[in-house]
Structure 1
Amino acid sequence: MTREYGRAFAAMRTEAGEAWRDYTRHAFVEALGDGTLPHEAFLHYLQQDYVFLVHFSRAWALAVVKSETHAEMLAAVGTVNALVAEEMQLHVETCAKAGISGEALFATAERPENLAYTRFVLEAGYSGDLLDLLAALAPCVMGYGEIGARLQSEATSERYADWIGTYARKDYQQSCAAVGALLDGAATRRLGPEFESSPRWQRLCRTFRTATELEVQFWQMGLRP
Protein backbone atom coordinates (compact mmCIF):
# COMPACT_ATOMS: atom_id res chain seq x y z
CA MET A 1 0.00 0.00 0.00
CA THR A 2 1.47 3.33 -1.12
CA ARG A 3 0.40 6.37 0.87
CA GLU A 4 0.27 9.93 -0.47
CA TYR A 5 2.89 11.72 1.61
CA GLY A 6 4.14 14.21 -0.96
CA ARG A 7 6.15 14.47 -4.14
CA ALA A 8 9.68 14.41 -2.70
CA PHE A 9 8.94 11.40 -0.50
CA ALA A 10 7.39 9.48 -3.41
CA ALA A 11 10.47 10.14 -5.54
CA MET A 12 12.88 9.12 -2.78
CA ARG A 13 10.81 6.03 -2.03
CA THR A 14 11.06 4.98 -5.69
CA GLU A 15 14.82 5.57 -5.72
CA ALA A 16 15.19 3.37 -2.62
CA GLY A 17 14.02 0.39 -4.68
CA GLU A 18 13.89 -3.00 -3.02
CA ALA A 19 15.23 -1.58 0.24
CA TRP A 20 11.83 0.04 0.83
CA ARG A 21 9.98 -3.25 0.41
CA ASP A 22 12.53 -5.04 2.60
CA TYR A 23 11.76 -2.47 5.30
CA THR A 24 7.97 -2.16 5.09
CA ARG A 25 7.34 -5.88 4.54
CA HIS A 26 10.04 -7.27 6.80
CA ALA A 27 9.40 -10.56 8.62
CA PHE A 28 9.08 -8.62 11.90
CA VAL A 29 6.34 -6.46 10.40
CA GLU A 30 4.46 -9.41 8.96
CA ALA A 31 4.65 -11.20 12.31
CA LEU A 32 3.04 -8.17 13.96
CA GLY A 33 0.18 -8.50 11.50
CA ASP A 34 -0.47 -12.20 11.92
CA GLY A 35 0.26 -12.24 15.66
CA THR A 36 3.11 -14.74 15.47
CA LEU A 37 5.77 -12.36 16.81
CA PRO A 38 6.91 -13.67 20.22
CA HIS A 39 6.02 -11.26 23.02
CA GLU A 40 9.64 -11.32 24.22
CA ALA A 41 10.77 -10.05 20.81
CA PHE A 42 8.10 -7.35 20.83
CA LEU A 43 9.14 -6.08 24.26
CA HIS A 44 12.80 -6.13 23.24
CA TYR A 45 11.93 -4.10 20.16
CA LEU A 46 9.85 -1.62 22.19
CA GLN A 47 12.71 -1.00 24.61
CA GLN A 48 15.17 -0.39 21.79
CA ASP A 49 12.62 1.71 19.92
CA TYR A 50 12.11 3.86 23.01
CA VAL A 51 15.84 4.63 23.07
CA PHE A 52 15.65 5.27 19.34
CA LEU A 53 12.82 7.76 19.88
CA VAL A 54 14.88 9.63 22.47
CA HIS A 55 17.51 10.32 19.81
CA PHE A 56 14.91 10.75 17.07
CA SER A 57 13.28 13.49 19.15
CA ARG A 58 16.66 15.18 19.49
CA ALA A 59 17.09 15.00 15.72
CA TRP A 60 13.71 16.66 15.22
CA ALA A 61 14.72 19.31 17.74
CA LEU A 62 17.79 19.86 15.57
CA ALA A 63 15.37 20.41 12.68
CA VAL A 64 14.16 23.51 14.53
CA VAL A 65 17.75 24.80 14.61
CA LYS A 66 18.17 24.07 10.89
CA SER A 67 14.88 25.68 9.87
CA GLU A 68 14.91 28.82 7.76
CA THR A 69 11.26 29.85 8.16
CA HIS A 70 8.68 30.05 10.92
CA ALA A 71 6.56 27.46 9.12
CA GLU A 72 9.47 25.01 9.10
CA MET A 73 10.04 25.61 12.80
CA LEU A 74 6.36 25.00 13.60
CA ALA A 75 6.34 21.72 11.67
CA ALA A 76 9.46 20.49 13.45
CA VAL A 77 8.16 21.51 16.89
CA GLY A 78 4.86 19.70 16.22
CA THR A 79 6.72 16.51 15.42
CA VAL A 80 8.89 16.76 18.55
CA ASN A 81 5.76 17.12 20.66
CA ALA A 82 4.07 14.14 19.01
CA LEU A 83 7.13 11.97 19.65
CA VAL A 84 7.76 12.97 23.26
CA ALA A 85 4.19 13.39 24.51
CA GLU A 86 2.44 10.64 22.55
CA GLU A 87 4.51 7.98 20.79
CA MET A 88 7.07 7.52 23.58
CA GLN A 89 4.24 7.38 26.11
CA LEU A 90 2.78 4.35 24.32
CA HIS A 91 6.09 2.55 24.85
CA VAL A 92 6.14 3.53 28.54
CA GLU A 93 2.60 2.26 29.12
CA THR A 94 3.08 -1.00 27.20
CA CYS A 95 6.35 -1.81 28.95
CA ALA A 96 4.89 -0.89 32.37
CA LYS A 97 2.25 -3.58 31.86
CA ALA A 98 5.09 -6.07 31.41
CA GLY A 99 6.80 -4.90 34.62
CA ILE A 100 9.41 -2.66 32.97
CA SER A 101 9.56 0.67 34.79
CA GLY A 102 10.02 4.02 33.11
CA GLU A 103 13.45 4.35 34.71
CA ALA A 104 14.53 0.95 33.42
CA LEU A 105 13.20 1.80 29.98
CA PHE A 106 15.16 5.05 29.77
CA ALA A 107 18.30 3.21 30.93
CA THR A 108 18.03 0.54 28.20
CA ALA A 109 21.44 -0.21 26.71
CA GLU A 110 21.56 0.57 22.99
CA ARG A 111 22.17 -2.26 20.59
CA PRO A 112 24.75 -1.56 17.85
CA GLU A 113 22.03 -1.46 15.18
CA ASN A 114 20.23 1.24 17.16
CA LEU A 115 23.42 3.20 17.70
CA ALA A 116 24.30 3.09 14.00
CA TYR A 117 20.89 4.31 12.89
CA THR A 118 20.37 7.12 15.39
CA ARG A 119 23.86 8.54 14.96
CA PHE A 120 23.55 8.38 11.19
CA VAL A 121 20.41 10.52 11.38
CA LEU A 122 21.95 13.01 13.79
CA GLU A 123 25.12 13.28 11.71
CA ALA A 124 23.02 14.01 8.61
CA GLY A 125 21.65 17.00 10.48
CA TYR A 126 24.90 18.14 12.06
CA SER A 127 26.84 18.11 8.79
CA GLY A 128 24.07 19.20 6.44
CA ASP A 129 21.02 21.45 6.28
CA LEU A 130 17.37 20.79 7.05
CA LEU A 131 16.90 18.96 3.77
CA ASP A 132 19.73 16.52 4.50
CA LEU A 133 18.22 15.88 7.93
CA LEU A 134 14.71 15.33 6.56
CA ALA A 135 16.01 12.82 4.02
CA ALA A 136 17.36 10.77 6.94
CA LEU A 137 14.23 11.23 9.10
CA ALA A 138 11.56 10.54 6.49
CA PRO A 139 11.89 6.73 6.16
CA CYS A 140 10.98 6.18 9.80
CA VAL A 141 8.04 8.59 9.84
CA MET A 142 6.42 7.61 6.56
CA GLY A 143 7.45 3.97 6.66
CA TYR A 144 5.60 3.43 9.92
CA GLY A 145 2.63 5.26 8.41
CA GLU A 146 2.58 2.88 5.45
CA ILE A 147 3.03 -0.16 7.68
CA GLY A 148 0.31 0.87 10.11
CA ALA A 149 -2.21 1.65 7.38
CA ARG A 150 -1.55 -1.64 5.57
CA LEU A 151 -1.65 -3.83 8.66
CA GLN A 152 -4.84 -2.14 9.81
CA SER A 153 -6.56 -3.58 6.74
CA GLU A 154 -4.60 -6.82 6.36
CA ALA A 155 -3.82 -8.02 9.91
CA THR A 156 -5.25 -11.44 10.76
CA SER A 157 -4.68 -11.14 14.51
CA GLU A 158 -5.60 -8.61 17.22
CA ARG A 159 -2.54 -9.43 19.31
CA TYR A 160 -0.64 -6.26 18.33
CA ALA A 161 -3.67 -4.16 17.44
CA ASP A 162 -2.66 -1.32 19.78
CA TRP A 163 0.72 -0.94 18.08
CA ILE A 164 -0.82 -1.13 14.61
CA GLY A 165 -3.55 1.33 15.56
CA THR A 166 -1.01 3.88 16.76
CA TYR A 167 0.42 4.23 13.26
CA ALA A 168 -2.80 3.67 11.32
CA ARG A 169 -4.88 6.26 13.15
CA LYS A 170 -5.82 9.58 11.60
CA ASP A 171 -3.53 11.80 13.67
CA TYR A 172 -0.41 9.79 12.81
CA GLN A 173 -1.35 9.75 9.14
CA GLN A 174 -1.81 13.52 9.30
CA SER A 175 1.67 13.78 10.85
CA CYS A 176 3.07 11.83 7.90
CA ALA A 177 1.35 14.18 5.47
CA ALA A 178 2.71 17.18 7.39
CA VAL A 179 6.26 15.84 7.25
CA GLY A 180 5.78 15.15 3.53
CA ALA A 181 4.70 18.76 3.02
CA LEU A 182 7.69 19.95 5.07
CA LEU A 183 10.02 17.84 2.91
CA ASP A 184 8.46 19.19 -0.31
CA GLY A 185 8.73 22.77 0.93
CA ALA A 186 12.32 22.34 2.12
CA ALA A 187 13.34 20.82 -1.22
CA THR A 188 11.63 23.56 -3.23
CA ARG A 189 13.07 26.34 -1.06
CA ARG A 190 16.64 25.03 -1.21
CA LEU A 191 16.80 23.36 -4.64
CA GLY A 192 14.04 25.00 -6.68
CA PRO A 193 10.70 23.71 -8.03
CA GLU A 194 12.38 21.07 -10.21
CA PHE A 195 14.36 19.70 -7.28
CA GLU A 196 14.73 16.20 -8.77
CA SER A 197 17.11 17.67 -11.38
CA SER A 198 19.35 19.33 -8.79
CA PRO A 199 22.95 18.07 -8.44
CA ARG A 200 22.13 17.41 -4.75
CA TRP A 201 19.16 15.16 -5.43
CA GLN A 202 20.96 11.85 -5.80
CA ARG A 203 22.91 12.48 -2.59
CA LEU A 204 19.66 13.11 -0.75
CA CYS A 205 18.23 9.90 -2.19
CA ARG A 206 21.30 7.98 -1.00
CA THR A 207 20.74 9.36 2.50
CA PHE A 208 17.11 8.25 2.34
CA ARG A 209 18.08 4.79 1.11
CA THR A 210 20.75 4.35 3.79
CA ALA A 211 18.23 5.27 6.50
CA THR A 212 15.83 2.75 4.95
CA GLU A 213 18.49 0.03 5.04
CA LEU A 214 19.18 0.87 8.69
CA GLU A 215 15.46 0.41 9.37
CA VAL A 216 15.76 -3.10 7.92
CA GLN A 217 18.62 -3.82 10.32
CA PHE A 218 16.53 -2.44 13.19
CA TRP A 219 13.79 -4.97 12.45
CA GLN A 220 16.40 -7.71 12.24
CA MET A 221 17.64 -6.68 15.67
CA GLY A 222 14.06 -6.93 16.94
CA LEU A 223 13.96 -10.58 15.98
CA ARG A 224 17.01 -11.27 18.17
CA PRO A 225 16.11 -10.50 21.80
Structure 2
Amino acid sequence: MDGSMQNTEITGSFTAAAWERIKPLMAEIERLPLLERLSDGTLPPEVFRHYILQDAIYLKHYARCLAVVAAKAPDNAQVLRFLGSAQKAITVEQGLHATFLSQFGISSADVTAAEPSPSCFAYTNFLLATAYHSSYAVALSAILPCFWIYMHVGEGIKGRPAIEGNVFQAWINTYGDPQFAAGAREVIALTDIAARAASETERADMMDVFVRASQYEWMFWDSAWRLETWPV
Protein backbone atom coordinates (compact mmCIF):
# COMPACT_ATOMS: atom_id res chain seq x y z
CA MET A 1 0.00 0.00 0.00
CA ASP A 2 1.47 3.33 -1.05
CA GLY A 3 1.07 5.72 1.88
CA SER A 4 3.83 8.23 1.28
CA MET A 5 3.77 11.01 3.84
CA GLN A 6 6.57 13.20 2.48
CA ASN A 7 4.30 16.26 2.37
CA THR A 8 3.26 16.00 6.01
CA GLU A 9 6.48 14.98 7.76
CA ILE A 10 8.88 17.74 8.74
CA THR A 11 12.38 16.73 9.78
CA GLY A 12 12.73 17.11 13.51
CA SER A 13 9.03 17.63 14.17
CA PHE A 14 7.06 15.73 16.78
CA THR A 15 4.79 14.12 14.21
CA ALA A 16 7.74 13.00 12.05
CA ALA A 17 9.20 11.26 15.11
CA ALA A 18 5.80 9.80 16.01
CA TRP A 19 5.25 8.41 12.50
CA GLU A 20 8.74 6.93 12.51
CA ARG A 21 7.95 5.32 15.86
CA ILE A 22 4.91 3.48 14.48
CA LYS A 23 6.41 2.40 11.14
CA PRO A 24 6.56 -1.28 12.18
CA LEU A 25 2.92 -1.05 13.31
CA MET A 26 1.93 0.60 10.03
CA ALA A 27 3.48 -2.31 8.13
CA GLU A 28 1.20 -4.62 10.12
CA ILE A 29 -1.84 -2.43 9.42
CA GLU A 30 -1.12 -2.48 5.69
CA ARG A 31 -1.12 -6.30 5.79
CA LEU A 32 -4.45 -6.61 7.59
CA PRO A 33 -6.78 -9.01 5.74
CA LEU A 34 -9.77 -6.70 6.23
CA LEU A 35 -8.08 -3.86 4.36
CA GLU A 36 -6.68 -6.08 1.63
CA ARG A 37 -10.05 -7.69 0.99
CA LEU A 38 -11.87 -4.36 1.19
CA SER A 39 -9.48 -2.99 -1.41
CA ASP A 40 -10.12 -5.79 -3.92
CA GLY A 41 -13.85 -6.07 -3.16
CA THR A 42 -13.68 -9.62 -1.74
CA LEU A 43 -14.33 -8.78 1.92
CA PRO A 44 -17.04 -11.13 3.26
CA PRO A 45 -20.29 -9.17 3.82
CA GLU A 46 -20.61 -10.38 7.42
CA VAL A 47 -17.17 -8.94 8.22
CA PHE A 48 -18.06 -5.57 6.72
CA ARG A 49 -21.38 -5.52 8.58
CA HIS A 50 -19.53 -6.15 11.84
CA TYR A 51 -17.01 -3.43 11.01
CA ILE A 52 -19.64 -0.82 10.09
CA LEU A 53 -21.69 -1.45 13.23
CA GLN A 54 -18.59 -1.12 15.40
CA ASP A 55 -17.49 1.97 13.49
CA ALA A 56 -20.88 3.59 14.11
CA ILE A 57 -20.37 3.02 17.85
CA TYR A 58 -16.80 4.30 17.63
CA LEU A 59 -17.75 7.49 15.79
CA LYS A 60 -20.40 8.35 18.37
CA HIS A 61 -17.71 8.39 21.05
CA TYR A 62 -15.00 9.87 18.83
CA ALA A 63 -17.24 12.86 18.12
CA ARG A 64 -17.44 13.50 21.86
CA CYS A 65 -13.66 13.26 22.15
CA LEU A 66 -13.31 15.87 19.41
CA ALA A 67 -15.73 18.14 21.26
CA VAL A 68 -13.67 17.81 24.45
CA VAL A 69 -10.48 18.60 22.52
CA ALA A 70 -12.27 21.66 21.09
CA ALA A 71 -13.14 22.82 24.61
CA LYS A 72 -9.45 22.63 25.60
CA ALA A 73 -8.13 24.34 22.46
CA PRO A 74 -6.04 27.48 23.05
CA ASP A 75 -7.76 29.74 20.50
CA ASN A 76 -11.07 30.19 18.73
CA ALA A 77 -9.79 28.94 15.38
CA GLN A 78 -8.87 25.59 16.89
CA VAL A 79 -12.11 25.43 18.90
CA LEU A 80 -14.07 25.84 15.67
CA ARG A 81 -11.83 23.41 13.83
CA PHE A 82 -12.51 20.52 16.21
CA LEU A 83 -16.17 21.36 16.71
CA GLY A 84 -16.43 21.09 12.93
CA SER A 85 -14.68 17.72 13.03
CA ALA A 86 -17.09 16.51 15.69
CA GLN A 87 -20.02 17.56 13.52
CA LYS A 88 -18.57 15.75 10.51
CA ALA A 89 -18.05 12.57 12.54
CA ILE A 90 -21.76 12.60 13.31
CA THR A 91 -23.14 13.73 9.94
CA VAL A 92 -20.87 13.10 6.95
CA GLU A 93 -19.47 9.76 8.00
CA GLN A 94 -22.76 8.54 9.38
CA GLY A 95 -24.21 9.35 5.97
CA LEU A 96 -21.69 6.94 4.50
CA HIS A 97 -22.76 4.39 7.09
CA ALA A 98 -26.43 4.87 6.20
CA THR A 99 -25.65 3.90 2.62
CA PHE A 100 -23.85 0.76 3.70
CA LEU A 101 -26.38 -0.13 6.37
CA SER A 102 -29.10 -0.19 3.75
CA GLN A 103 -26.89 -1.98 1.21
CA PHE A 104 -25.94 -4.73 3.64
CA GLY A 105 -29.37 -5.19 5.18
CA ILE A 106 -28.69 -3.61 8.57
CA SER A 107 -31.73 -2.00 10.19
CA SER A 108 -31.81 0.98 12.54
CA ALA A 109 -32.83 -1.48 15.25
CA ASP A 110 -29.62 -3.44 14.59
CA VAL A 111 -27.61 -0.27 15.07
CA THR A 112 -29.43 0.61 18.29
CA ALA A 113 -28.99 -2.89 19.68
CA ALA A 114 -25.30 -3.20 18.75
CA GLU A 115 -22.83 -3.45 21.62
CA PRO A 116 -19.19 -2.45 21.37
CA SER A 117 -16.73 -5.27 20.86
CA PRO A 118 -13.94 -5.57 23.47
CA SER A 119 -11.53 -3.74 21.15
CA CYS A 120 -14.01 -0.96 20.34
CA PHE A 121 -14.89 -0.58 24.02
CA ALA A 122 -11.23 -0.36 25.04
CA TYR A 123 -10.32 2.09 22.28
CA THR A 124 -13.19 4.50 22.82
CA ASN A 125 -12.73 4.50 26.59
CA PHE A 126 -9.01 5.15 26.17
CA LEU A 127 -9.78 8.13 23.92
CA LEU A 128 -12.47 9.54 26.21
CA ALA A 129 -10.31 9.17 29.33
CA THR A 130 -7.36 10.82 27.61
CA ALA A 131 -9.46 13.66 26.23
CA TYR A 132 -11.07 14.41 29.59
CA HIS A 133 -8.06 14.01 31.87
CA SER A 134 -5.10 15.18 29.79
CA SER A 135 -3.87 18.48 28.42
CA TYR A 136 -4.87 19.76 25.00
CA ALA A 137 -1.56 18.65 23.47
CA VAL A 138 -1.82 15.11 24.84
CA ALA A 139 -5.50 14.79 23.90
CA LEU A 140 -4.66 16.01 20.40
CA SER A 141 -2.00 13.31 20.06
CA ALA A 142 -4.52 10.65 21.06
CA ILE A 143 -7.06 11.61 18.39
CA LEU A 144 -4.45 12.14 15.65
CA PRO A 145 -3.90 8.47 14.65
CA CYS A 146 -7.53 8.07 13.56
CA PHE A 147 -7.13 11.01 11.16
CA TRP A 148 -3.64 10.12 9.95
CA ILE A 149 -3.88 6.34 9.64
CA TYR A 150 -7.22 6.50 7.82
CA MET A 151 -5.69 9.03 5.42
CA HIS A 152 -2.66 6.81 4.88
CA VAL A 153 -4.79 3.72 4.29
CA GLY A 154 -7.35 5.55 2.16
CA GLU A 155 -4.74 7.15 -0.08
CA GLY A 156 -2.93 3.83 -0.43
CA ILE A 157 -6.03 1.95 -1.53
CA LYS A 158 -7.26 4.82 -3.73
CA GLY A 159 -3.91 4.71 -5.52
CA ARG A 160 -4.49 1.14 -6.66
CA PRO A 161 -6.36 0.30 -9.87
CA ALA A 162 -10.10 0.46 -9.13
CA ILE A 163 -11.92 -2.87 -9.10
CA GLU A 164 -15.05 -2.70 -11.22
CA GLY A 165 -18.14 -3.40 -9.15
CA ASN A 166 -16.35 -3.10 -5.79
CA VAL A 167 -19.21 -2.65 -3.32
CA PHE A 168 -16.82 -0.95 -0.90
CA GLN A 169 -15.78 1.81 -3.33
CA ALA A 170 -17.72 4.50 -1.41
CA TRP A 171 -15.60 3.74 1.67
CA ILE A 172 -12.42 3.97 -0.42
CA ASN A 173 -13.57 7.25 -1.97
CA THR A 174 -14.34 8.79 1.43
CA TYR A 175 -10.96 8.11 3.04
CA GLY A 176 -8.96 8.57 -0.15
CA ASP A 177 -10.57 11.94 -0.82
CA PRO A 178 -8.21 14.97 -0.98
CA GLN A 179 -10.51 16.91 1.39
CA PHE A 180 -10.16 14.21 4.04
CA ALA A 181 -6.39 14.28 3.54
CA ALA A 182 -6.32 18.08 3.89
CA GLY A 183 -8.20 17.84 7.19
CA ALA A 184 -5.81 15.19 8.48
CA ARG A 185 -2.77 17.25 7.51
CA GLU A 186 -4.23 20.21 9.40
CA VAL A 187 -4.48 18.11 12.57
CA ILE A 188 -0.89 16.94 12.03
CA ALA A 189 0.24 20.56 11.80
CA LEU A 190 -1.73 21.58 14.91
CA THR A 191 -0.18 18.69 16.83
CA ASP A 192 3.30 19.92 15.92
CA ILE A 193 2.40 23.43 17.07
CA ALA A 194 1.17 22.04 20.40
CA ALA A 195 4.29 19.89 20.77
CA ARG A 196 6.60 22.88 20.32
CA ALA A 197 4.96 24.59 23.30
CA ALA A 198 4.87 21.42 25.44
CA SER A 199 7.27 20.45 28.19
CA GLU A 200 9.58 17.46 27.80
CA THR A 201 7.32 15.40 30.07
CA GLU A 202 4.23 16.42 28.14
CA ARG A 203 5.89 15.52 24.83
CA ALA A 204 6.68 12.06 26.23
CA ASP A 205 3.03 11.67 27.17
CA MET A 206 2.03 12.81 23.69
CA MET A 207 4.18 10.10 22.14
CA ASP A 208 2.82 7.45 24.51
CA VAL A 209 -0.82 8.14 23.66
CA PHE A 210 -0.07 8.47 19.94
CA VAL A 211 1.49 5.01 19.92
CA ARG A 212 -1.29 3.50 22.03
CA ALA A 213 -4.04 4.92 19.83
CA SER A 214 -2.22 3.59 16.77
CA GLN A 215 -2.13 0.14 18.35
CA TYR A 216 -5.87 0.40 18.94
CA GLU A 217 -6.36 1.25 15.25
CA TRP A 218 -4.77 -2.09 14.37
CA MET A 219 -6.82 -3.87 17.01
CA PHE A 220 -10.07 -2.31 15.78
CA TRP A 221 -9.64 -3.52 12.19
CA ASP A 222 -8.30 -6.90 13.26
CA SER A 223 -11.20 -7.42 15.67
CA ALA A 224 -13.70 -6.74 12.90
CA TRP A 225 -11.99 -9.32 10.68
CA ARG A 226 -12.27 -11.86 13.52
CA LEU A 227 -15.92 -10.89 14.21
CA GLU A 228 -14.82 -10.26 17.78
CA THR A 229 -17.42 -10.62 20.54
CA TRP A 230 -17.18 -10.77 24.30
CA PRO A 231 -15.80 -14.19 25.29
CA VAL A 232 -18.03 -14.57 28.35
Provide the TM-score with structure 1 as the length reference: 0.90
Instruction: Kindly report which structure 2 residues correspond to 1:70-81, keeping only aligned pairs within 5 A, or say none.
Output: 70-81=76-87
Q: Hey, what does 1:9 align to over in structure 2? A: 15
Verify: 1:138 aligned to 2:168, yes or no: no
After TM superposition, which residue ranges in structure 1, 4 or more long, deviate above 4 angstroms? none
CA contact (8 A) 2:62 2:124 kept: yes
Instruction: State the percentage of identical aligned residues.
Output: 28
Match of 1:26 among 20, 23, 32: 32
Q: Distance in 2 between matches of 1:178 and 1:78?
A: 13
Amino acid at match of 1:184: D
Letter in 2 for 1:81: Q
Distance apart, 1:23 and its partner CA = 2.4
Quickly say closer, same or farther: Cα 1:106–1:174, change in 2 above 3 A. Answer: farther
Contact in 1 for aligned 2:72/2:135 (Cα 8 Å): yes
After TM superposition, the structure 1 = structure 2 runs for residues 62-101 of structure 1, keeping only pairs within 5 Å, are 62-101=68-107
Query: What residue number does 1:218 align with?
Result: 220
For the residues of structure 2 that align with 1:183 and 1:24, how far apart are their CA atoms? 24
The equivalent of 1:194 in structure 2 is none
Q: Kindly state the Cα deviation for residue 28 of structure 1 after the two structures are TM-superposed.
A: 1.5
User: Is residue 2:217 matched to residue 1:209?
Assistant: no
Greater fraction helix = 1
| Map of 2:183 onto structure 1 | 175
- Compute the RMSD of aligned alpha carbons: 1.8
Q: Which residue of 2 aligns with 1:162?
A: 170
TM-superposed CA distance for 1:155, in Å, is: 4.9
Return the structure number with greater relative CO, CA threshold 8 A, min gap 6. 1
1:104 maps onto 2:110 in alignment? yes
TM-score (norm 2): 0.87
Indicate conservation of the 8 Å contact 1:51/1:106, yes or no.
Answer: no
| Distance apart, 1:221 and its partner CA | 1.0
Q: 1 CA distance for matches of 2:149 and 2:94?
A: 17
**2:128 is the alignment partner of 1:122:** yes
Task: Classify the secondary structure of the residue corresponding to 2:114.
Answer: coil
Aligned residues: 219
Amino acid at match of 2:134: G
Contact 1:35–1:156 (8 Å) recurs in 2: no
**C-alpha deviation, 1:93, in angstroms:** 1.9
Aligned to 1:200: 202
Q: Distance in 1 between matches of 2:103 and 2:94?
A: 15
Matches of 1:100 and 1:37, distance apart in 2 = 17
Partner AA of 2:96 in structure 1: L
- Offset at 1:98? 2.3
